[in-house]
């Protein structure tokens, strides 16, 4: 069963936008592939041949996608039997802003990691992630974030022998103290 909704140019553009982005990136990469520096051997295809082949396929497909999604923008998705099962598996996105906050927090964590060290940075990061994931009980968050940070430090530094960032002074003192406590030298 399908149902149609009024189609505005904005709706068409929105539907075609992902494909337009792919088209733009594809065109840029094709230009880049055209300018690869290499020593030409007569009768042989160059290092740009394979990427260009893929890019042509990408550009043609994205163009097709852009046109067809703009044309069919008004058509609602077909309702198929088992739709409720589909909803169980793929619920709609209701908090898109939380995703970008989570990405921002992750980037901040990666920037701060070399300064504050793994242990302290991870406590804060895990606590914020739990909060973003709708787990909002302060005491369990505090306990679990410290426990998670310690557990990761122990497993990866003591068992898997990974050298996790210790941070710079004065934060590295905490890292060194903990490393000594768990027997990592």
Partner 1 sequence: MLLDLAHGFVQVFQPFDLLMLVVGLLVGMAVSIMPGLGLVMGVVLALPFTYQMPIEPSIILLTAIYFAGTYAGCFTAILYRIPGEPMDVPMLWDGYTMGRRGSPAKALGWALVAALIGGLVSSAVMVVLADPMSEIALKFDSPDYFAAVFFGLTTVVALAGKSMVNSLISLCIGLLVATVGIDSIYGTQRFTFGVPILRDGVQLVEVLVGMYGLGEVLTRIGQGLRVSHAETGGKKVTTHIPSLRELLAIKTTLFRSTVLGTLLGIVPGAGATITAFISYGVEKQYGRRRHLLGTGLPEGIVAPQIGATASVAGHMIPLLTLGLPGSGATAVILAAFLLHGVQPGPMLFEEPSSLLMVNTILASMFASVVGMCLLGFLWIRVIVKVLTIPQGVLSAIVVMFCLVGAYANRNNMSDVWMIVIFGVLGYLFEKFKFPVSPMVLGAILGPVGESSFMRSMIASGNDWTVFFKGPICGTLMAGSLLALSYPLIRQFLSARRRLQPVASSGGSP
The count of residues in the chain is 185
DSSP 168: S
DSSP 182: T
Q: Which residue, 92 or 183, has its beta carbon nearer to partner 1?
A: 92
From the list 3, 24, 34, 57, which residue makes contact with partner 1 (rule: CB under 8 A)?
Answer: 57
113, 163 Cβ separation under 8 angstroms = no
- The span of 3-11, 143-151, 169-177 binding partner 1 (CB under 8 A) equals 143-151
- Residue 23's nearest CA partner among 75, 79, 74, 66 is 66
Asked if residue 104 binds partner 1 (CB under 8 A), the reply is no
- Of residues 107-136, which lie at the interface with partner 1 (CB under 8 A)? 107, 110, 113-114, 122, 125-126, 129-135
Binding mask 148-167 for partner 1 (x = CB under 8 A): x---x---x---xxxxxx--
Query: How far from the centroid of its chain's Cα atoms is residue 157's Cα?
Result: 26
> Which residue from 76, 78, 162 is spatially nearest to 118, judged by alpha carbons?
162
Please tell me whether residue 13 adopts helix, strand or coil conformation.
Answer: helix
Selected from 16, 33, 123, 179, the binder of partner 1 by CB under 8 A is 33
Return d(Cα 126, Cα 57) in angstroms, integer. 42
Residues that bind partner 1 (CB under 8 A): 18-19, 22, 29, 32-33, 36-39, 43-51, 54-55, 57-58, 61-62, 64-65, 68, 82, 85, 88-89, 91-96, 98-99, 102-103, 106-107, 110, 113-114, 122, 125-126, 129-135, 144-145, 148, 152, 156, 160-165
């Amino acid at each position: 069963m399908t149902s149609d909704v009024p189609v505005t140019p904005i709706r068409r553009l929105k539907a075609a936008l992902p494909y337009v982005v792919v088209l733009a990136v594809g065109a840029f990469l094709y230009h880049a592939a055209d300018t690869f520096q290499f020593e030409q051997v007569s009768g042989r295809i160059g290092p740009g041949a394979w990427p260009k082949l893929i890019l042509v396929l990408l550009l043609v497909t994205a163009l097709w996608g852009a046109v067809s999604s703009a044309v069919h923008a008004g058509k609602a998705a077909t309702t198929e039997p088992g739709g409720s099962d589909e909803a169980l598996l793929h619920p709609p996105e209701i908090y898109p802003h939380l995703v970008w906050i989570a990405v921002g927090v992750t980037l901040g964590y990666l920037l701060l990691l070399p300064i504050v060290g793994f242990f302290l940075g991870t406590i804060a990061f895990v606590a914020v992630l739990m909060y973003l994931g709708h787990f909002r009980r302060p005491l369990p968050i505090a306990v679990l974030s410290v426990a998670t940070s310690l557990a990761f430090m122990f497993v990866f530094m003591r068992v898997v022998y990974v050298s996790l960032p210790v941070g710079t002074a004065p934060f590295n003192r905490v890292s060194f103290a903990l490393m000594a406590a768990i027997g990592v030298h």
